Amino acid sequence: MCDPFQMNSKKTLGLIRTLSSTYVLDTFAEETQQSTLTSLSPLNRVVAALRYFAEGSYQHGVGTDYNVGMGQSTVSKSLSHFLEVMQRKLCREWIKFDQSEEEKMQAEQEFYAKASFPGVIICVDGTHIKIVKPSEEGFLYYNRKGFYSINAILVCDNRMRIKSIDARYPGCNHDSHVWGLSKLRSHMERRYRE
């Protein structure tokens, strides 16, 4: 089996989009049989959610796009249902921080070969996810970059697979503060401190 990341970027992107989309849609369709949104197909709900993520807002295109065209409340319900399924099914299946000793050694070797950093087994970074100002305690979400956000910490392994996400903190918190409160940081210190 070939490694899609070794292929040229157009082929890789096409393959990943096709495989990812099919997998997400199949998983979502299985979970949607009991949904109250029976008039919409699982495909329409997934498309509405993905379009919302791409635009960051209902008004920018989800409701007016002739391919999606649905009301704000329908998009909201579709989005909520999609996120619930993603969290319950896909995140639990795919986003796990577990490394065997063999994986840890392989990660160290690959990070060292790529960047000459010894002892690295994961990469951690924070990102601000832009949001609309919350009606309550909005000031907590105003970040140093000048917009309202949630500060999310993401952890990736040597293969760029997401291993952990923590998106619980308002944007006013600095990355180092969020990482300092992280259960994963405590786990890493206990497990790997030499």
124 and 88 share one domain: no
pLDDT digits (tens, 9 = 90+) for 44-75: 777 777 777 766 665 455 555 555 567 777 77
Does residue 115 share a domain with residue 69?
Answer: no
User: Are 113 and 31 part of one and the same domain?
Assistant: no
Q: How many distinct structural domains can be found in the chain?
A: 2
Domain boundary at 94, 117, 139, which?
Answer: 94
- Residue 175 lies in domain: 101-192
What separation in angstroms does the CA of 80 have from each of 9, 98, 99, 118? 32, 28, 32, 42
In the chain, what is the straight-line distance between the N-terminal and C-terminal CA atoms, in Å? 37
State pLDDT tens for residues 127-161: 998 888 888 999 999 999 999 999 998 889 888 88
Write the pLDDT tens digit of every residue in 161-193. Answer: 888 888 889 999 998 899 888 888 888 888 777
Residues 142 and 111 placed together within one structural domain of the fold: yes
Around Cβ 38, how many Cβ atoms within 10 Å?
9
pLDDT in tens, 78-108: 778 888 888 887 777 777 777 888 988 999 9
pLDDT recorded at residue 41: 76
Q: What is the pTM of this model?
A: 0.64
Closest CA to 156 of 106, 102, 97, 100: 97
